Structure 1
Amino acid sequence: MSKSLQAIRGMNDILPEQTPAWRYLERTFATLLDGYGYHEIRLPIMEFTELFARGIGEGTDVVDKEMYTFLDRNEESLTLRPEGTAGCVRAVLEHGLTGGGQVQKLWYAGPMFRYEKPQKGRYRQFHQIGVEVFNLPGPDIDAELIVLTARLWQRLGLTDAVTLQLNSLGSSADRGRYREALVAYLQERFEQLDEDSQRRLTTNPLRILDSKNAQTQALLVGAPTLADYLDDESRAHFDGLKARLDAAGIRYEINPKLVRGLDYYGRTVFEWVTDKLGAQGTVCAGGRYDGLITQFGGKPTPGVGFAMGVERLVLLLETLERLPSDLMRPADLYLCAFGEAAELAGLSLAEKLRDARPDLRLLVNAGGGSFKSQFKKADKSGALWAMILGEDELAAQQVALKPLRGDAPQEKVDFAALAARLDEILPPAAAGRGN
């Protein structure tokens, strides 16, 4: 017996009853970004492997363990994108979007791929919405990104469910000095480190700060802190960010162990975390990467951005029951037509109604059937009203409007007056909402 068809582990179908929540989140965010002057960019899901090795960094878990990499027929190494920033930077460089110091405020959305152990809120194909800004070096744009995300939580009803954590990774020189001090401290306690942290001590020691091992975290209590190694410029940048967040009324926590998992970050790093989803608590994360474009051969260009996980945000909205109640209402009207002449007239009438009311969600019965069977389908569809067109109605150039929800009386309406009547019983502000 052949193996039954199924999706690859960790790569999920988003079914019709789930997509309204996704569309609601994506639509809310796109509207918000438009109001802040950000523009969408659409990027390939696959890049040359070298892009991620150079950008994310050799020795990171993402590059060493998690990337989906293969050779194509030309023997070139390609990788399904594990994150969006590197590809966005590549596009900006390739198309000269930051030439002459031009500011770019960009956003993108789509699937990312990492070979991780699937669990609640963590998948091998997952979706992100990302934002990247180029050629603005100051803490003001860092603050704008954080304020923007805070406004998103407000619009989604999640303000009370998330907490902002901040840190500064300083400059490359700052991190170099700190790395030496941290390695010296941990080298003396090498045997007490967990196996993964022992490996990271030579490849990526800052990532040890993010260890989930309780014994390693206990060792870090007395370790040097990065804040003590910041130069005056990095310290002023971080102070400027905090001052702006204070002015905007954004609450935050300083987390000296927040380092992020990608090597390109410097100075500002931040995460929005929640305790409502168990272990997978980060729903949005980002920071500044002023040296990344230089790593790819471009001129020094300031950059800052963030990404948020769509699956985790949808899960959070569902867990806390913060989704609008009408997302799944599939139709406003259901047209039942009886007889060939009525079906033809009904098709024409339906298209005229769609011309008059583009927001209207109108289902037209397909497959024929008796009055009883069509009316049963109309009721099952969840539509608010059934619009009935038979021989008698067609002869009178009328339709019967029958409420499927509530106790309003059935009524006859002339074809010519139908659009106006629908405006009364299904106002434009109410029709068309949801999926």
Structure 2
Amino acid sequence: MLTTRPRGTNDILPGEVEKWQYLEELARQVCREYGYGELRTPIFEHTELFHRGVGETTDVVEKEMYTFTDRGERSITLRPEATAATVRAYLENKLSSLPQPVKLFYIGPMFRYDRPQAGRFRQFHQFGVEVFGTHSPAIDAEVIAMAMDIYKRIGLTDLELHINSVGCPECRPLLREKLQEHFRPHLEELCSNCQGRFERNPLRILDCKGEKCQELGRNAPTTLDALCPGCQSHFNEVKLNLEAVGVPYIVNNRLVRGLDYYTHTAFEIMAKDIGAQSSIGGGGRYNGLIEACGGPAIPGVGFALGLERILLTAERQGIDFPFSRGPEVFVATAGTGVEIQSFKLIQELRQRSVPAEKDYLGRSLKAQMKYAAKLGARWVVILGEEEYAKGLAAVRDMKLGDQQEVALAELVEYIKSK
């Protein structure tokens, strides 16, 4: 139907969109403080980017991407996540020539064909950061602390930070061997997806949401059972840095994340009672991703936070965002001959950065006052025909209920001072 939006998408209406604007501006402010610059990439990319960057064995690539062939017979995919696109932009625009590390952030819509549930949509929005050019465990701790800082400033509570190390190419072969040894006797009991992952990437089996696969993986070897000395040292340094800045964490040795590009640190932030999934954000290190996308061996680390899930969690926790929901000033008219003057006045106020509104339906003064109250205006300027002829206007404080006359020549400055 033409009057129904596609399943898994949302209209963000006035009254709600202000929450999004507040959240996005808060994220941008934190990024300014931490030294991250904004990057905006296309909403669609060549499909091969996600095959190579996200991973052939992930649910995202296997089942969830919106892929189509364009008129030039090219395979195009709406971005299901932004890290691979950020890597492509980093390489294409030669950002490696800038002083390292390069710190970037993005805000925008992502697309995955998934079963819509509370907190999960087919078009959803993420805020994320990526850092390229350093192996330092301290930068892992920085991006984690930054995510937790944002949640703290929003006012979210009762969050759990889960961290893990998923190893590196040096220790992954040992983990792969241990996992295949564990799952081989139960291969026929695994779901069809995990049977395919058994040879390609058995670590993905630990991320399967199927009950049987979860049961079979309950006692499977974990990433921490196979870490090489370098990965163990890196993970210890991450934990020490988090402890130094007072960020509490839980080591979750079953946390592997859902994308193939992670190495070393992986983390998720969990919130209770938000529906299909408890995760409201997460990320980790991906030292091999830039190389997998055709670039040099440059390390990277980052996170992505789901804006819908943050807003849902804030709603469940009763957090009211501090923003104005309507005009600060409403200009009402009484009598005839002052309509043009009322329009001139609201424009003068707007040009002085004062949100202002007026009546456009020819309402009575009483109806205008009711309308101003519904809009949430704190002040109402009443332009009466007789008062205007005397160079005066009445200003009513809608909160306190008092009213006084002000000279028209001083009106804008008076309102601005309020």
TM tier, shorter chain? over 0.9
Shift, 1:163, TM fit: 0.5
Counterpart of 1:134?
132
Query: 290-299 vs 302-311, which deviates more?
Result: 290-299
Equivalent-residue separation in structure 1 for 2:244 and 2:155 (angstroms): 22
Q: Distance in 2 between matches of 1:71 and 1:353?
A: 51
Letter in 1 for 2:111: F
Contact 2:80 2:110 in 1 (8 A): yes
Aligned to 2:361: 367
Task: Please state how far the C-alpha of 1:284 moved relative to its aligned partner.
Answer: 0.8
Superposition deviation, residue 64 in structure 1: 1.3
1:335–1:363 Cα contact (<8 Å) kept: yes
Alpha-carbon deviation of 1:277? 1.3
1:389 aligns with 2:383: yes
Measured after TM superposition, the shift of residue 75 of structure 1 is 0.5
- Tell me which residue corresponds to 2:255: 258
- The whole-number CA distance in structure 2 between the counterparts of 1:61 and 1:223 is 21
1:401 counterpart SS class: strand
- Cα distance in 1 for partners of 2:106, 2:274 equals 25
Residue 328 of structure 2 corresponds to 332
Contact 2:18 2:325 in 1 (8 A): no
Q: Name the aligned partner's letter for residue 147 of structure 1.
A: A
Name the residue aligned to 1:433.
Answer: none
Is residue 2:399 matched to residue 1:405?
yes
Q: For residue 350 of structure 1, what is the amino acid of its counterpart?
A: I
Q: What is the distance in 2 between the residues matched to 1:186 and 1:7?
A: 43
Residue in structure 2 matched with residue 282 of structure 1 by the alignment? 279
Quote how far apart the aligned CAs of 1:338 are: 4.3
For 1:106 and 1:5, the matched residues in 2 are separated by 38
Within the alignment, does 1:345 sit opposite 2:338 as a pair? no
Unmatched 5+ stretches in structure 1? 427-435
Q: Which residue of 1 aligns with 2:350?
A: 354
Question: CA shift at 1:72, angstroms?
Answer: 0.6
Q: 1:271 aligns with which of 268, 276, 288?
A: 268
How much does 1:322 deviate? 1.0
1:418 alignment partner, SS class: helix
Classify the secondary structure of the residue corresponding to 1:98: helix
Superposed CA RMSD: 1.8
Q: Identify which of 90, 93, 101 aligns with 2:91.
A: 93
Question: What TM-score results when the alignment is normalised by the length of structure 2?
Answer: 0.95
Deviations 1:225-258 (A, max 9, x none): 2212111111111111000011111111111111
CA distance in 1 between counterparts of 2:226 and 2:315 reads 42
- Once the two structures are superposed, what CA deviation does each residue of 1:351-371 show, in whole Å capped at 9, x if it has no partner? 333344x1x221122233332
User: In structure 2, what is the equivalent of residue 145 of structure 1?
Assistant: 143
| Residue 212 (structure 2) pairs with residue 228 (structure 1) | no
Whole-Å Cα distance in 1 between the matches of residues 173 and 33 of structure 2?
Answer: 39
1:87 and 1:221 map into 2 onto residues whose CA distance is 34
- Whether the aligned pair in 1 keeps the contact of 2:329 and 2:357 (CA below 8 Å) is yes
Moved more, 360-369 or 167-176: 360-369
Equivalent residue of 1:189, what SS?
Answer: helix
Q: 1:210 corresponds to which residue?
A: 207
Amino acid at match of 1:105: K
State how far apart, in whole Å, the 2-side matches of 1:91 and 1:215 are: 40
The residue that corresponds to 1:430 in the other structure is none
Q: Specify the code of the residue in structure 2 equivalent to 1:346.
A: S
Letter in 1 for 2:57: G
Deviation at 1:204, TM superposition (A): 3.0
Aligned with residue 374 of structure 2, among 358, 375, 380: 380
SS of the equivalent of 1:400 reads strand
* Counterpart code for 1:204: N
SS at match of 1:378: helix
8 Å CA contact retained: 1:101, 1:135: no
Q: Secondary structure at the match of 1:222?
A: coil
The farther-off stretch of 130-139 and 16-25 is 16-25
1:295 equivalenced with 2:292 (yes/no): yes
AA aligned opposite 1:365: D
Could you tell me how far apart the structure 2 residues matched to 1:392 and 1:342 are? 10
- The alpha carbon displacement at 1:8 in A equals 0.7
TM-score normalized with structure 1 length: 0.91
1:431 corresponds in structure 2 to none
Residue identity in the other structure for 2:239: K
Identity score, percent: 44
What secondary structure, in the 3-state scheme, does the structure 1 residue paired with 2:326 have? coil
Cα distance in 1 for partners of 2:351, 2:10 equals 37
State the distance in 2 between where 1:199 and 1:223 align: 18
Letter paired with 1:354: R
Is contact 2:132-2:298 (8 Å) kept? yes
The match for 2:109 among 103, 111, 129 is 111
In the TM superposition, what is the alpha-carbon distance from 1:161 to its structure 2 partner? 2.3
Kindly state the Cα deviation for residue 4 of structure 1 after the two structures are TM-superposed.
4.9
Aligned pair partner of 1:418 in 393, 397, 411: 411
Q: Among residues 100, 116, 139, which one is paired with 1:102 in the alignment? A: 100
CA contact (8 A) 2:336 2:385 kept: no
Output the CA distance in 2 between the equivalents of 1:185 and 1:214.
17
How far has the Cα of 1:112 moved from its partner? 0.3
Q: Distance in 2 between matches of 1:302 and 1:205?
A: 24
CA contact (8 A) 1:41 1:108 kept: yes
